[in-house]
Every structure is written in structure tokens, then in C-alpha cells.
Amino acid sequence: MCNTEFHFYDRLQISEREDTFLEPKERLRAMEKPLLAWYGSRARVLPWREDPKPYRVWVSEIMLQQTRVEAVKPYFERFMDALPEIKDLAEAEDDRLMKLWEGLGYYSRVRNLKAAAVRVMEQYKGELPASYEELLSLPGIGSYTAGAIASIAYGIPVPAVDGNVLRVISRILADRSDIKKASVKTAVETLLKEVMPSDKASSYNQGLIETGALVCIPGKEPRCSQCPMESVCLTKRQGLWKEIPWKSPSKKRRIEERTVFIIENQGKAAIRKRPSTGLLASLYELPNTEGHLTGEEARAYLGVPEEAVERLEALEPSLHIFSHVEWHMTGYRAVLKRAWQDPDHTAFMVEKEEIRDRYPLPNAFSAYKDILFQKEDGT
């Protein structure tokens, strides 16, 4: 079978060299067999691929949004061990769920994951629907995730177009359209739906995604010599990889200055819960305030007499970048001689181990969380 596929591929290379121009659909149909052969022999071994049940595919795809594959692996395994079925997810306490997600970021993803699980329990008897349209109606599931679940778990021939696929298709067709536009993504989805094989939807979609992740990589020169679609790629032929795909410039992120406090007393540290709406909603955080405070301002923030402070030390600055805002942080570590009473009555003292094991602190505070445990860990 492989010989036949690559024989087809060789004939295609010859026809292209003879200047037989292919229309977009013809070009995409021509790449099908070499793509499937390449994916069949080079696909990475990933835990959600080894057992592509609908729930596992769904969780993995949500985790993989804006997160690298290698970073996701341990989170996925831990999540599956803790919440092996949709019912477990639907019934999970929010703090426990956020703790399982801690470090992955973009916490609205896991909130939507739970909301969708609740709806699946109520409307679909605990089973993800085997329908692209019904999947699309669930919270947090857009066209890409619906396409991935439908094609990988159920074999339904619908496209799954993410950033990797947009980049690959744009380069194959030398299309300079702005891939940040929803209309461009919709056009690619429509085109792929017309040409994708009806009986190999899973391998086809995953092959395109895998090619974008491993070969037609973002931001760097593509590894064209490793690509099964090299001979049909117009961007390769025209040397345009620096120009395609095209993305319109992003808006400049807003910068916020903050001062973060590590406040300790007898093995406990202060944390507080963030508001239920807005950035990092309902997660826990180290006490912090707007602006970069001086040492005197930091003492005033603590609201305790000077004799109650055993030590107050300035910490190194830290930067955390969200999609639309940057936190430029400085910090102080305050070791107190008595338990701290927050003047605003929002923070509370907990054992350090509880911060490690129970309370979810987002990555924005990771540099200061590491400092909190430094002496305890001997690092």
C-alpha cells in the first residue's frame, strides 16, 4: 500500500515540474495520500492517542490549547487519574479542579470544561454526543475542538482547524490571507471538508496538526525536506515561508505594576481568594496591591507595628504575561512575630503545605511561590 501511495506522490512531483498548475482543491486532494502515509509512520506516541475515547480526546484538546504537548502530558495523566469519567468532572469541587489545572493557565478553559460536563450529564446521559453540531453547542467547545472530538473519537469527516493547520494550508496554497480572521479559518474549514477522506478523518486531521507541530513549524524556517507535501507546497516553491502565513499585528498589551507579599508566621503564609469574575477568577493568590511600593509603603501595607516584624526583605522583580495584560511585579517577604491580620479582611493564614497541596495559585505568582518554599526545601 505504501508503495502505491508514494508512486502516486512521485507522479505528482513530475506533473508539478512540468508546470501543470493545480487548483486549490486539486492541490489539497493531491497531498492526501503522502500525508496519511507520513502520519502512519511518524505520529508521536501520546497518551490520548493510545486510547482515543471521546472524554480523553476532549480533555486533551482543551489542555493543548495554548500549551505545549510535552507540558500537557503530566497534567493529562494526573487529571485522568483523578477524574476518570465525565461524571467525576461534573461533580468535582471547584478548588480541587483548579488545583488539578494549576500551572496550565487560561483557567476559563477548565471552568467551561466542567460546565460542559454538567450539561453532558443532564442532556446526554454522561456520554459526549457523536455529532459535530451538538458538540459545538457545549460550553468551551469551538469549531476546532468539536472537529477534533468528532473526527478522532468518532471518525466523523469534519475538519479540525487550529493554528498548525492554518499555517500548513496557507503555505501549501501560498495564501496571504490574515489567519487571525475568523472568516479565513471558516474558509479553510469549508475547503478541507470538501477534500478530506470520509473514511480516514482522524488520521487526516491529526496528520495536518502533526505536520504543523513538527515540520511546518511556527516562527522558524520549516523543515521542508521532512515534509510529505513538499512537492505541492507553493510557499516552498516560491521561497515565501517568512511571509506566509500572514497575521495582522496584535494589540499592545496593557502594563500593570503590582507589589506581591509573602507574609509568614510560624510555618504559615497568607493567601486570599480572587473575585469570582474577571482575570484569574476564584483562584487564590498571595496578597498584592497595585503599584511598586517602597520599603516604607510595604510596612504600611502590612498594617502591623514595627516590633511585630522579624524581617522584611525586598524580592527580585517578576514578569507575567497574559493575553492582553502584563504584570510587572516586585515583591517583599515579611516574616512576622505573630499571626497576620489582614487590614482589608480578605486574606487568611494557612499552612504552607496547604498552599502546595490544596489551594490553586496561578502561574502569575510562581516566582514568589518558589521563594516561599525555598528554605523549607533547602534550595
Mean pLDDT in the chain?
A: 91
Q: Is residue 245 included in any domain, yes or no?
A: no
Domain check: are 267 and 228 in the same one? no
Which residue among 183, 205, 238 closes a domain? 238
Written as one letter, the residue type at 273 is: K
3-state secondary structure of 275: coil
pLDDT band for 13, please (50, 70, 90 cuts).
very low
pLDDT band for 22, please (50, 70, 90 cuts).
confident
DSSP state letter for 149: I
pLDDT digits (tens, 9 = 90+) for 23-78: 999 999 999 999 999 999 999 999 999 999 999 999 999 999 988 999 999 999 99
Domain check: are 140 and 217 in the same one? yes
DSSP string, 185-235: HHHHHHHHHHHS-TT-HHHHHHHHHHHHHHTS-SSS---GGG-TTGGG-HH
Which member of 16, 61, 210, 264 is catalytic? 61
* pLDDT at site 375: 56
CATH code: domain of residue 7? 1.10.340.30
User: What is the percentage of the chain residues whose pLDDT exceeds 90?
Assistant: 83
Report pTM: 0.86
SS (H, E, C) 45-65: CCHHHHCCCHHHHHHHHHHHC
Judged against a pLDDT cut of 90, whether residue 152 lies above it is answered with: yes
Q: Is residue 151 included in any domain, yes or no?
A: yes
Determine contact, residues 205/151, Cβ cutoff 8 Å: yes
Q: Is residue 191 included in any domain, yes or no?
A: yes
CATH code: domain of residue 310? 3.90.79.10
More confident position, 340 or 15: 340
pLDDT digits (tens, 9 = 90+) for 79-132: 999 999 999 999 999 999 999 999 898 899 999 999 999 999 999 999 999 999
Q: Is residue 349 included in any domain, yes or no?
A: yes
Domain check: are 156 and 258 in the same one? no
Q: Is residue 246 included in any domain, yes or no?
A: no
Judged against a pLDDT cut of 90, whether residue 379 lies above it is answered with: no
Mean pLDDT, rounded, for 271-279: 91
Which residue among 182, 213, 238 closes a domain? 238
Q: How far apart are the first and last CA of the chain?
A: 57
Domain check: are 137 and 164 in the same one? yes
Judged against a pLDDT cut of 90, whether residue 3 lies above it is answered with: no
* pLDDT at site 20: 56
d(CA 338, CA 116): 45
Mean pLDDT, rounded, for 194-223: 95
pLDDT digits (tens, 9 = 90+) for 180-193: 999 999 999 999 99
Q: Is residue 247 included in any domain, yes or no?
A: no
Domain check: are 208 and 307 in the same one? no
* pLDDT at site 344: 82
pLDDT band for 276, please (50, 70, 90 cuts).
confident
Domain check: are 91 and 170 in the same one? yes
User: What is the percentage of the chain residues whose pLDDT exceeds 70?
Assistant: 93
d(CA 184, CA 7): 33
d(CA 270, CA 351): 9
d(CA 348, CA 139): 33
Q: Count the Cβ atoms, other than its own, within 10 Å of residue 199.
A: 9
pLDDT band for 1, please (50, 70, 90 cuts).
very low
Domain check: are 185 and 229 in the same one? yes
* pLDDT at site 330: 97
Domain check: are 50 and 82 in the same one? yes
Cell of 40: 502512519
pLDDT digits (tens, 9 = 90+) for 243-268: 999 999 988 999 999 999 999 999 99
- Split into its structural domains, the chain has a count of 2
pLDDT digits (tens, 9 = 90+) for 284-317: 999 999 999 999 999 999 999 989 999 999 999 9
d(CA 252, CA 179): 19
Domain check: are 189 and 48 in the same one? yes
Judged against a pLDDT cut of 80, whether residue 15 lies above it is answered with: no
Judged against a pLDDT cut of 50, whether residue 19 lies above it is answered with: no
Determine contact, residues 279/322, Cβ cutoff 8 Å: yes
Distances (CA, A) of 41 to 44, 203, 236, 314: 9, 11, 23, 54
Domain check: are 141 and 175 in the same one? yes
Domain range for 314 is: 254-377
Domain check: are 37 and 8 in the same one? yes
Q: Count the Cβ atoms, other than its own, within 10 Å of residue 88.
A: 14
Domain check: are 229 and 280 in the same one? no
Name residue 260's beta-bridge partners. 288, 331
Q: Is residue 47 included in any domain, yes or no?
A: yes
* pLDDT at site 229: 94
3-state secondary structure of 295: helix
pLDDT digits (tens, 9 = 90+) for 120-146: 999 999 999 999 999 999 999 999 999
Per the annotation, the verdict on 61 as an active-site residue is yes
Which residue among 180, 205, 238 closes a domain? 238
Q: Is residue 33 included in any domain, yes or no?
A: yes
d(CA 309, CA 219): 50
